[in-house]
Amino acid sequence: MDRFLGRLAMQTKGVANEPEWNAELNKRRFQLIDGEIEGILSQAEQIELAGLTHLMRMHVDSEANLPFEGARKLYGYLAKLESNSTGTEQ
């Protein structure tokens, strides 16, 4: 349900292509969360928070956020260990 509300919030704001998640959007989301905790968010701010939360979740779930460089280093390290233990060079 939250994802639906987030998508709806972005459409309501007229955002055709969802912007990339960045530090400024993250800061704004935290400001809105603080307001939500304090119970002072307007309806428009609640919609904005839903939209920003949707964007953040899409960013976190995206393939662009996967740690490929670390995985490559680990693979190289493990391949080197394997070649050393078997006496073969890869």
What is the pLDDT at residue 14?
55
User: Could you give the C-alpha distances from 50 to 2, 11, 45, 70, 81, in angstroms and in order?
Assistant: 7, 11, 9, 32, 47
What is the pLDDT at residue 49?
94
Q: Which pLDDT tens digits describe the chain residue by residue (90 residues)?
A: 555 555 555 555 555 566 788 999 999 999 999 999 999 999 999 999 999 999 999 888 887 767 777 778 888 888 888 777 666 555
User: Could you give the C-alpha distances from 33 to 18, 30, 38, 52, in angstroms and in order?
Assistant: 20, 5, 9, 11
- Hey, where are the domains in the chain? 2-86
What is the pLDDT at residue 36?
96
